[in-house]
Amino acid sequence: MTDLLTIGAFARLARLSPKALRLYDEMNLLPPARVDPDTGYRWYSPDQLDRARQVVQLRRIEMPLPRIRTVLDLPPEAAAAEVRAYWEEQEREWRAKQELAGFFLDRLAGKETPMYDVSVREMPARTLLVASEHLTADRIGAFAAPLFAFFGGPAVPRPEGSAGRPFLRYHGEIGNDSDGLVEFCCPIDPDGGEIAFPEMTLSTDDAGREAYVTVPKANMMTALGAESLHRWLTDRDVQADWKPRQIFLCDPGQAGPDDPVFELAVRLR
Protein backbone atom coordinates (compact mmCIF):
# COMPACT_ATOMS: atom_id res chain seq x y z
CA MET A 1 0.00 0.00 0.00
CA THR A 2 2.88 2.40 0.72
CA ASP A 3 3.78 2.49 -2.99
CA LEU A 4 0.22 3.10 -4.19
CA LEU A 5 -1.39 6.45 -4.96
CA THR A 6 -4.83 7.62 -3.95
CA ILE A 7 -7.21 8.28 -6.81
CA GLY A 8 -6.86 12.03 -6.19
CA ALA A 9 -3.07 11.98 -6.26
CA PHE A 10 -3.00 9.76 -9.34
CA ALA A 11 -5.54 11.99 -11.09
CA ARG A 12 -3.37 15.06 -10.54
CA LEU A 13 -0.23 13.36 -11.82
CA ALA A 14 -2.02 11.91 -14.85
CA ARG A 15 -3.92 15.17 -15.54
CA LEU A 16 -7.21 13.32 -15.36
CA SER A 17 -10.24 13.85 -13.20
CA PRO A 18 -11.34 11.24 -10.64
CA LYS A 19 -14.61 11.03 -12.61
CA ALA A 20 -12.67 10.09 -15.77
CA LEU A 21 -10.67 7.50 -13.85
CA ARG A 22 -13.87 5.89 -12.57
CA LEU A 23 -15.18 5.73 -16.14
CA TYR A 24 -11.93 4.20 -17.40
CA ASP A 25 -12.15 1.61 -14.64
CA GLU A 26 -15.70 0.68 -15.68
CA MET A 27 -14.49 0.22 -19.27
CA ASN A 28 -11.47 -1.83 -18.14
CA LEU A 29 -9.29 0.74 -19.86
CA LEU A 30 -7.39 1.79 -16.75
CA PRO A 31 -8.45 -0.32 -13.74
CA PRO A 32 -6.91 0.59 -10.39
CA ALA A 33 -4.13 -1.53 -8.92
CA ARG A 34 -6.22 -2.14 -5.81
CA VAL A 35 -9.79 -1.55 -4.68
CA ASP A 36 -10.58 -1.54 -0.97
CA PRO A 37 -13.12 -4.36 -0.50
CA ASP A 38 -14.91 -2.51 2.30
CA THR A 39 -15.01 1.10 1.04
CA GLY A 40 -14.60 0.60 -2.71
CA TYR A 41 -11.82 3.21 -2.67
CA ARG A 42 -9.43 2.99 -5.61
CA TRP A 43 -5.63 2.97 -5.42
CA TYR A 44 -3.24 3.25 -8.38
CA SER A 45 0.36 2.26 -9.00
CA PRO A 46 2.91 4.82 -10.27
CA ASP A 47 3.64 2.29 -13.02
CA GLN A 48 0.17 3.06 -14.45
CA LEU A 49 0.99 6.70 -15.12
CA ASP A 50 2.45 5.99 -18.57
CA ARG A 51 -0.75 4.25 -19.71
CA ALA A 52 -2.84 7.06 -18.22
CA ARG A 53 -0.84 9.71 -20.10
CA GLN A 54 -1.27 7.77 -23.33
CA VAL A 55 -5.02 7.80 -22.74
CA VAL A 56 -4.87 11.57 -22.26
CA GLN A 57 -2.91 12.04 -25.49
CA LEU A 58 -5.24 9.85 -27.55
CA ARG A 59 -8.32 11.56 -26.13
CA ARG A 60 -6.86 14.90 -27.27
CA ILE A 61 -7.10 13.64 -30.86
CA GLU A 62 -10.68 12.55 -30.07
CA MET A 63 -10.09 8.83 -30.34
CA PRO A 64 -13.09 6.93 -28.87
CA LEU A 65 -12.42 5.12 -25.62
CA PRO A 66 -13.06 1.57 -26.94
CA ARG A 67 -10.53 2.18 -29.70
CA ILE A 68 -8.00 3.57 -27.20
CA ARG A 69 -8.33 0.35 -25.22
CA THR A 70 -7.58 -1.63 -28.38
CA VAL A 71 -4.54 0.54 -29.19
CA LEU A 72 -3.03 0.33 -25.72
CA ASP A 73 -3.36 -3.45 -25.63
CA LEU A 74 -1.41 -3.85 -28.89
CA PRO A 75 2.38 -4.23 -29.34
CA PRO A 76 4.06 -0.89 -30.19
CA GLU A 77 4.29 -1.46 -33.97
CA ALA A 78 0.66 -2.57 -34.26
CA ALA A 79 -0.46 0.27 -31.96
CA ALA A 80 1.33 2.80 -34.17
CA ALA A 81 -0.40 1.36 -37.26
CA GLU A 82 -3.78 1.63 -35.56
CA VAL A 83 -3.20 5.26 -34.54
CA ARG A 84 -2.01 6.07 -38.06
CA ALA A 85 -5.14 4.48 -39.54
CA TYR A 86 -7.35 6.41 -37.12
CA TRP A 87 -5.69 9.70 -38.00
CA GLU A 88 -6.08 9.06 -41.73
CA GLU A 89 -9.80 8.50 -41.08
CA GLN A 90 -9.96 11.83 -39.24
CA GLU A 91 -8.25 13.59 -42.14
CA ARG A 92 -10.75 12.09 -44.59
CA GLU A 93 -13.63 13.19 -42.38
CA TRP A 94 -12.16 16.69 -42.15
CA ARG A 95 -11.87 16.89 -45.92
CA ALA A 96 -15.47 15.73 -46.21
CA LYS A 97 -16.62 18.45 -43.80
CA GLN A 98 -14.54 21.02 -45.67
CA GLU A 99 -16.11 19.91 -48.96
CA LEU A 100 -19.61 20.11 -47.47
CA ALA A 101 -18.97 23.57 -46.01
CA GLY A 102 -17.63 24.77 -49.36
CA PHE A 103 -20.64 23.35 -51.16
CA PHE A 104 -23.00 25.12 -48.76
CA LEU A 105 -21.12 28.42 -49.03
CA ASP A 106 -21.13 28.22 -52.82
CA ARG A 107 -24.86 27.63 -52.76
CA LEU A 108 -25.40 30.67 -50.52
CA ALA A 109 -23.26 32.75 -52.88
CA GLY A 110 -25.17 31.52 -55.91
CA LYS A 111 -22.17 29.69 -57.34
CA GLU A 112 -22.36 26.45 -59.29
CA THR A 113 -20.52 23.51 -57.73
CA PRO A 114 -19.01 21.05 -60.24
CA MET A 115 -20.94 17.78 -60.04
CA TYR A 116 -20.08 14.23 -61.03
CA ASP A 117 -21.25 12.92 -64.38
CA VAL A 118 -24.31 10.69 -63.89
CA SER A 119 -24.74 7.53 -65.98
CA VAL A 120 -27.72 5.21 -66.33
CA ARG A 121 -27.63 1.44 -66.78
CA GLU A 122 -30.01 -1.49 -66.93
CA MET A 123 -29.65 -4.03 -64.13
CA PRO A 124 -30.99 -7.60 -64.39
CA ALA A 125 -33.18 -9.33 -61.85
CA ARG A 126 -30.98 -10.91 -59.19
CA THR A 127 -31.04 -13.11 -56.14
CA LEU A 128 -29.36 -11.49 -53.14
CA LEU A 129 -27.89 -12.71 -49.88
CA VAL A 130 -28.62 -9.98 -47.36
CA ALA A 131 -27.25 -9.12 -43.91
CA SER A 132 -28.83 -6.11 -42.21
CA GLU A 133 -28.15 -4.04 -39.12
CA HIS A 134 -29.08 -0.65 -37.67
CA LEU A 135 -25.81 1.32 -37.61
CA THR A 136 -24.37 4.75 -36.98
CA ALA A 137 -21.92 6.06 -39.58
CA ASP A 138 -18.85 5.24 -37.48
CA ARG A 139 -19.84 1.55 -37.26
CA ILE A 140 -20.41 0.89 -40.95
CA GLY A 141 -16.77 0.02 -41.67
CA ALA A 142 -16.60 -2.65 -38.97
CA PHE A 143 -19.88 -4.14 -40.23
CA ALA A 144 -19.09 -4.08 -43.94
CA ALA A 145 -15.33 -4.71 -44.27
CA PRO A 146 -15.30 -8.43 -43.39
CA LEU A 147 -18.42 -9.05 -45.51
CA PHE A 148 -16.87 -7.41 -48.58
CA ALA A 149 -13.60 -9.26 -47.97
CA PHE A 150 -15.36 -12.64 -47.98
CA PHE A 151 -18.23 -12.19 -50.43
CA GLY A 152 -16.14 -10.18 -52.89
CA GLY A 153 -13.84 -13.18 -53.34
CA PRO A 154 -14.22 -16.49 -55.17
CA ALA A 155 -15.91 -18.36 -52.31
CA VAL A 156 -19.41 -17.30 -53.39
CA PRO A 157 -20.63 -17.78 -57.01
CA ARG A 158 -21.84 -14.43 -58.35
CA PRO A 159 -23.13 -13.08 -61.67
CA GLU A 160 -20.55 -11.66 -64.06
CA GLY A 161 -19.66 -7.96 -64.28
CA SER A 162 -21.29 -5.10 -62.42
CA ALA A 163 -24.39 -7.19 -61.69
CA GLY A 164 -22.29 -9.43 -59.43
CA ARG A 165 -20.67 -6.79 -57.24
CA PRO A 166 -21.71 -6.78 -53.55
CA PHE A 167 -23.08 -3.48 -52.29
CA LEU A 168 -24.42 -1.62 -49.28
CA ARG A 169 -28.00 -0.34 -49.40
CA TYR A 170 -28.99 2.53 -47.10
CA HIS A 171 -32.58 2.97 -45.94
CA GLY A 172 -32.29 6.42 -44.37
CA GLU A 173 -29.98 9.24 -43.35
CA ILE A 174 -27.18 8.05 -41.08
CA GLY A 175 -24.73 10.01 -38.94
CA ASN A 176 -22.43 9.39 -36.00
CA ASP A 177 -25.29 10.31 -33.64
CA SER A 178 -28.22 8.74 -35.50
CA ASP A 179 -28.52 5.20 -36.79
CA GLY A 180 -30.37 3.72 -39.73
CA LEU A 181 -30.92 0.41 -41.46
CA VAL A 182 -27.95 -0.69 -43.58
CA GLU A 183 -28.07 -3.82 -45.74
CA PHE A 184 -25.09 -5.68 -47.11
CA CYS A 185 -26.27 -7.31 -50.34
CA CYS A 186 -24.36 -9.94 -52.29
CA PRO A 187 -25.77 -10.99 -55.68
CA ILE A 188 -25.45 -14.75 -56.10
CA ASP A 189 -25.67 -17.15 -58.99
CA PRO A 190 -28.50 -19.53 -57.98
CA ASP A 191 -27.13 -22.13 -60.41
CA GLY A 192 -23.59 -21.86 -59.08
CA GLY A 193 -23.95 -24.46 -56.34
CA GLU A 194 -25.37 -24.76 -52.86
CA ILE A 195 -25.32 -21.53 -50.83
CA ALA A 196 -25.38 -22.10 -47.07
CA PHE A 197 -25.39 -18.90 -45.03
CA PRO A 198 -28.21 -19.36 -42.49
CA GLU A 199 -27.41 -16.07 -40.72
CA MET A 200 -28.29 -14.19 -43.92
CA THR A 201 -31.61 -13.87 -45.75
CA LEU A 202 -32.40 -14.50 -49.40
CA SER A 203 -34.02 -11.63 -51.27
CA THR A 204 -34.89 -10.72 -54.84
CA ASP A 205 -33.79 -7.58 -56.65
CA ASP A 206 -36.10 -6.77 -59.57
CA ALA A 207 -34.72 -5.78 -62.95
CA GLY A 208 -34.64 -2.03 -63.53
CA ARG A 209 -32.67 1.07 -64.42
CA GLU A 210 -30.33 2.82 -62.02
CA ALA A 211 -28.51 6.12 -62.13
CA TYR A 212 -25.01 6.14 -60.70
CA VAL A 213 -21.85 8.18 -60.17
CA THR A 214 -18.27 7.01 -59.65
CA VAL A 215 -16.48 8.43 -56.59
CA PRO A 216 -12.66 8.60 -56.18
CA LYS A 217 -10.95 7.91 -52.87
CA ALA A 218 -10.18 11.61 -52.31
CA ASN A 219 -13.92 12.35 -52.16
CA MET A 220 -15.26 9.14 -50.65
CA MET A 221 -16.19 10.84 -47.36
CA THR A 222 -17.91 13.82 -48.99
CA ALA A 223 -21.56 14.31 -49.95
CA LEU A 224 -20.74 15.25 -53.55
CA GLY A 225 -21.88 11.91 -54.97
CA ALA A 226 -25.31 12.14 -53.35
CA GLU A 227 -25.65 15.81 -54.31
CA SER A 228 -24.80 14.98 -57.93
CA LEU A 229 -27.53 12.36 -58.05
CA HIS A 230 -30.04 14.69 -56.38
CA ARG A 231 -29.25 17.46 -58.88
CA TRP A 232 -29.50 15.11 -61.87
CA LEU A 233 -32.86 13.74 -60.72
CA THR A 234 -34.25 17.21 -60.00
CA ASP A 235 -33.09 18.72 -63.30
CA ARG A 236 -34.76 15.91 -65.25
CA ASP A 237 -37.82 15.52 -63.01
CA VAL A 238 -36.98 11.84 -62.59
CA GLN A 239 -38.10 9.84 -59.56
CA ALA A 240 -35.94 7.37 -57.65
CA ASP A 241 -36.49 5.12 -54.64
CA TRP A 242 -33.64 6.93 -52.84
CA LYS A 243 -32.25 3.91 -51.11
CA PRO A 244 -28.67 4.60 -52.22
CA ARG A 245 -26.50 1.64 -53.13
CA GLN A 246 -22.77 1.89 -52.44
CA ILE A 247 -20.97 -0.49 -54.79
CA PHE A 248 -17.28 -0.82 -53.97
CA LEU A 249 -14.89 -1.24 -56.89
CA CYS A 250 -11.73 -1.89 -54.86
CA ASP A 251 -10.30 -1.88 -51.35
CA PRO A 252 -10.03 1.83 -50.34
CA GLY A 253 -6.93 1.04 -48.31
CA GLN A 254 -5.10 -0.03 -51.47
CA ALA A 255 -6.34 2.85 -53.67
CA GLY A 256 -4.62 6.10 -54.56
CA PRO A 257 -6.36 9.48 -54.03
CA ASP A 258 -7.61 9.69 -57.62
CA ASP A 259 -8.57 6.02 -58.00
CA PRO A 260 -12.31 5.25 -58.28
CA VAL A 261 -13.36 3.52 -55.08
CA PHE A 262 -17.11 3.07 -55.30
CA GLU A 263 -20.20 3.79 -57.32
CA LEU A 264 -23.20 5.42 -55.69
CA ALA A 265 -26.44 4.36 -57.38
CA VAL A 266 -30.19 4.84 -56.98
CA ARG A 267 -32.90 2.76 -58.62
CA LEU A 268 -35.07 4.78 -60.99
CA ARG A 269 -38.86 4.51 -60.94
Condensed to tens digits (0 to 9), the pLDDT of residues 112-140 reads 777 889 999 999 999 999 999 999 887 89
CATH of domain 5-73: 1.10.1660.10
Mean local confidence (pLDDT), 228-240? 93
| pLDDT tens readout for residues 249-261 | 988 778 887 899 9
Indicate the domain borders of the chain. Answer: 5-73, 118-267
Higher pLDDT pick, 152 / 266? 266
Query: How many CB atoms neighbour CB 149 within 10 A?
Result: 10
Separation of alpha carbons 126 and 184, rounded Å: 14
- φ, ψ of residue 82 in degrees (nearest 5): -70, -40
Q: pLDDT-based confidence at 238, cuts 50/70/90?
A: very high
Torsion of CA 9, 11, 17, 22, to 10 degrees: -100
Q: In the prediction, which pLDDT does 1 show?
A: 52
pLDDT of residue 222: 74
Residue 239 has pLDDT above 90, yes or no: yes
Is the model's pLDDT at 2 over the cut of 70? no
Which band of pLDDT confidence, cut at 50, 70 and 90, is reported for residue 163? very high
pLDDT of residue 241: 92
Query: How many other C-beta atoms can be found within 10 angstroms of the C-beta atom of residue 108?
Result: 8
CATH assignment, 118-267 = 3.20.80.10
Interval 196-228: pLDDT, tens:
787 899 999 999 999 999 998 877 777 788 889
Topology match between the domains 5-73 and 118-267: no
Give the tens place of pLDDT for each residue, 17-64.
Answer: 988 999 999 989 999 999 988 888 999 999 999 999 999 999 999 898
Q: Which whole-number Å values give the CA distances from 147 to 108, 115, 131, 140, in the listed order?
A: 41, 31, 9, 11
Comparing 149-153, 184-188, 239-243, which segment has the lowest mean pLDDT?
149-153
Mean pLDDT over each residue of the chain, to the nearest integer: 88
Confidence of residue 69 (pLDDT cuts 50, 70, 90): very high
